[in-house]
Amino acid sequence: MAKPYKGPERRKDHSLRIRRYRRLLEVTRTLSSTLDLPHLLRNIIESARELTDTEAVSIMLMDASTGQLRFEAITNKDDAAAMERIPVPIEGSIAGTIFTTAKPLIIADAASDPRHFRKVDNTITFVTRSILGAPLISKEKPIGVLQVLNKMKGSFTQDDVEILEALATQAAVAIVNARLFQQSDLIAEMVHELRTPLTSISACGQLLLRPGLPPDKRDEVAQVIQNETARLAAMTTDFLDLARLESGRAHFEREPFDMDLLCRECINIVTPQAAHRGVEIHFPASQPAAPKVNGDRSKIKQVVLNLLTNAIKYNRENGQIYVAMALSEGAVKVSVRDTGRGIPAEALPRMFEKFYRVPDSEGYTQGTGLGLAIAKRIVETHGGEMSLESEQDVGTTFCFTLPLDL
Ligand code: ADP
């Protein structure tokens, strides 16, 4: 019996399919060997775009602190900063539907779908026409969504769905592994940092055991033990805070609060510490329409307190601190300016790094080098930004913004 003729089109489809699956296998191999999270995410989006022949790709991961999805990587790097600040709600978004149903979904015409979350298209110049999304699932639990946008030719096919699902399965495993690796890296860094105060306490202990140590020397050594123990305690608290924030386990409340009142409350708390160094804190009288921010009041309080205590610690004796608050482009901006020694230009890019302290601040004042890393995380989880400006021997200004419409 003659074989049914399948035609050149069917054969072409078949070989295209084989080529795609071969490519998928290659990609999977690369993914499983990458532990650097940002690098891994870029690899996933580039592969997804190539395998599905689409215009753009995004990866959203669940942020446990907000209960919303968060853009972790997108094809267009220029839009990345703006998009990272837009949390995607689980209710009322296509990604949210894919996340909750844990099933892939094709949207042929995004503009006419009521679930399409338009805030993203409105923020950037990109126009979404069609969407194919697959859930990222690890140990039977969704952790995020992988979406490909705007099929280049024709519309999404069942083949596209299968290939994206297969890629998403591998991608989820790789993401979870990279996150675990990040955490173990943080633990290693912490253990390393704990060694310095511990070594110092141990050396002091030995000194105290020496017979005939003069009483004034004894007091000095006891004081070092006291300081280093306090530093260890501060480090463990800060470290736990940071680990919770980095792993997305920190819980954030959302409640409207008065930013002006919060700043005043923080200033009252640190005033005795400032007075001790003769430092004055200035904050203009409350504005008639003080902005209300929606967020976690106690965490934002932690940010303001960190900036204020730094402005006191790194100020000169009898220095000044100017706190200000302003509204701009739907956000409130809080700034804390001091008249301290400033920060050398080469240290500026490292200021928000974990454990980083400007070298000569070591002997100058006590600290863990974690406060600013924590503050930046908190602000960014609220969809805001943190920045600084500094001039040596003139002073430093730290600013953070918080969107008003969260
Ligand atoms: P810590 O103060 O506990 O060391 P931070 O993360 O809050 O940790 O600050 C990190 C480092 O940044 C400090 O050690 C200090 O060197 C520098 N720094 C922070 N704030 C200021 C400031 N207002 N002026 C000058 N240097 C600062």
Who contacts 322 (Cβ-Cβ below 8 Å, separation ≥6)?
A: 282, 283, 335, 336, 337, 338
Looking at the CA of residue 368, tell me the nearest atom of ligand 1. Answer: 3
Full-prediction pTM beyond 0.85? no
Distance (Å, whole) CA 173 – CA 28: 10
With a 6 A CB cut-off, is 372 part of the ligand 1 pocket?
A: yes
Q: What is the DSSP annotation of 83-129?
A: HHT-PBPSTTSHHHHHHHHTS-EEES-GGG-TT--HHHHHHSS----
Q: Is the dihedral of CA 280, 284, 285, 289 positive or negative?
A: negative
Report whether residue 239 contacts ligand 1, using a CB cutoff of 6 Å.
no
pLDDT, residue 8, reads: 63
**How many A from CA of 49 to the centre of ligand 1?**
42
CA of 15 to the centre of ligand 1 (A): 60
Give the integer Cα–Cα distance in Å for 91 and 113: 14
Q: Which of 386, 262, 395, 393 is nearest to 335 (CA)?
A: 386
Give per-10-residue mean pLDDT for the chain (406 aa): 59 81 88 87 94 95 86 83 80 93 94 82 81 95 95 94 95 92 82 88 92 90 92 89 82 89 96 96 78 90 97 95 90 96 93 88 73 94 93 95 80
319 CB under 6 A from ligand 1? no
Give me 394's structure tokens.
């003139």
**CA 363 to ligand 1 centroid distance, Å:** 13
| Other CB atoms within 10 Å distance of the CB of residue 154 | 9
What is the pLDDT at residue 182? Answer: 81
Radius of gyration of the chain, Cα coordinates, nearest whole angstrom: 27
Amino acid found at 399: C
Q: What is the pLDDT of residue 98?
A: 96
343 lines ligand 1 (CB under 6 A): yes
Residue nearest atom 2 of ligand 1, based on CA coordinates? 367
CA pair distance 309, 312, nearest whole angstrom: 5
d(CA 262, ligand 1 centre) in Å: 22
Minimum-distance ligand 1 atom for the alpha carbon of 238: 3
Q: Tell me 349's DSSP state.
A: G
Kindly give the distance from the C-alpha atom of residue 369 to the centroid of ligand 1, in angstroms, as a whole number: 7
Q: Which helix (H) or strand (E) holds 232?
A: helix 215-246
Is the separation of the CB atoms in 348 and 388 below 8 Å?
yes
